[in-house]
Chain A
Amino acid sequence: MKLPDFTYHRPDTLGGALELLDELGDDAKVLAGGQSLLPVLALRMNAVPNLVDIARIPELGEIEVGAEGITIGAGVRHAQAEVSPVVAEHAPLIAGALPYVGHRAIRNRGTVCGSLAHADPSAELPAVALALDARMIVAGSDGERTVPAEDFFQGVFTADLSETELLRAVHVPAWSPRAGWSVRELSRRHGDFAIVGLACAVELDEDGSYAKAALSYFGVAGRPTRVAEAEAALIGRKPGQEVHAEAAGIVSGVLEPAADLHGTSAYRKHIAGVLAKQCLAEAAGRAADRAGQNGAGV
């Protein structure tokens, strides 16, 4: 369908973008990759009088690495992050999730921060950000604020972003030498939104038992959801089939996914448990490999 009418702005700087948002407020939406926004406009599900294109602002286009972790700017495309050696080394859960995001052409235009700001409960990257305890760097004309992932994703397509703010970057804490990851999802076709998906990140202790675990589900609620009870049950215990099955049982008991035409609630609860077992096994294996490679011993 053809898009509704709007005025297009392309500021050259972040400051310019924020000035425009101050001026236009509710009458403007931020455009980066447009791979979620343009379909919404094309389907006439929404209309907005102004689009502020930030995709070509140079200061937003970088992936920066520091001692504390990596920072992915608002202009970074999925495809860029997918092939970035920095992301592969310091945030492999992101690199591992990206092949599930849409299709190649979508990833060439869409942005990591755009996906986070869009806050689709069935999307991979919000769940990944939650699993990694990522911090969102939100910019407004009066300064910046940092929002932890668990507070940022508030509900269906609802993020902690006011109409005069934009998500400038996402900061991902440094990846420990004994960390592992796994992402799995169930969908009808490759590239479809998940019926149920899991982004899993773990860290092992020197003796090989779980020091940290994140089980971050997407497609099961109005926002990405971690199952704290299942995570807690893993701490201090060594990876193994029984331990993982126990965690999976807790997950299936705790989650209450809504039913829809793709699956009943019971089916989704069951799949969530299955994914927990698969992902924990894979993540623990990767953690052990990484520990071995780093001489960190496990």
Chain B
Amino acid sequence: MSTDMHKITLTVNGTDHTVEVAARRHLADVLREELGLTGTHLGCEHGVCGACTVAVDGQATRSCLVLAVQVDGSEVTTIEGLTEADGSMGLIQRAMWEKHAFQCAFCAPGVMMSVSTMLADNPAPTPEEIKEGLSGNLCRCTGYHSILEGVNEVVAKMREGESANGAAGA
């Protein structure tokens, strides 16, 4: 069979993109390859590790478990969208960096997107709620304590009035 191609439009980190993609391409691959946004990582590519987590219309989403064609017309935020306009780290990235949250950081973009969507819904989560919200993001390196310290720091900074949204807005 010849490949079923679709022209789709995605607004990614505030910028509109129109791309032609095969039906079988998942959102993660389109972000990484067509749009060059390689911050979104592929760990398991079948929906269990969370490394590919992005926000679609504000909702945390496993980008390897959604076809690009399914989200035609949607707003997508990736880890690149948490950065400030001048390229410096946004609040979430800075807090995780200050607390040495990550080691190899392969899981990091997915973790930070989960944190971003979680805090957009609930800026003052309890420790249990934080663990629950991150339960779908696996990390092989850290044992998670440093990641949770980083999230606590994000929450603390937000309480002091800083914005977690970065340049593109969550």
Give me the interface of A with B, judged by CB distance under 8 Å. Answer: 1-8, 10, 31, 34-35, 38-39, 42-43, 49, 51, 53, 55, 79, 99, 102-106, 108-109, 189-191
Contact = CB atoms under 8 A, between A and B. Distances in A.
B61 A108 contact: yes
Contacts of B118: 104
B63 to A, nearest CB: 9
Interface residues of B, number: 33
A198 B6 CA distance: 44
A103 B47 CA distance: 10
Interface stretch (B78-86, B88-96, B132-140, B143-151): B132-140
A221 B92 CA distance: 45
Secondary structure dominating the interface of B:
mixed
Q: For B29, B47, B60, which residue has the most chain A Cβ atoms within 10 angstroms?
A: B47
9 contacts: A6-B24, A7-B1, A7-B23, A38-B46, A99-B132, A104-B114, A104-B136, A105-B62, A105-B114
Interface stretch (B65-73, B99-107, B152-160, B161-169): B65-73
B3 interface: yes
Q: For A31, A35, A38, which residue has the most chain B Cβ atoms within 10 angstroms?
A: A38
Interface in B37-51: 45-47, 50
Given A31-B70, A105-B62, 16 more contacts: A3-B25, A5-B3, A5-B4, A6-B4, A7-B1, A38-B65, A38-B66, A49-B1, A102-B136, A103-B136, A105-B60, A105-B61, A106-B136, A108-B56, A189-B135, A190-B132
Contacts of B69: 8, 10, 53
A104 B60 contact: yes
Given A42-B46, A105-B114, A5 B22 contact: yes
Interface of B: 1, 3-4, 6, 22-26, 29, 45-47, 50, 53, 56, 59-62, 64-67, 69-70, 114, 117-118, 132-133, 135-136
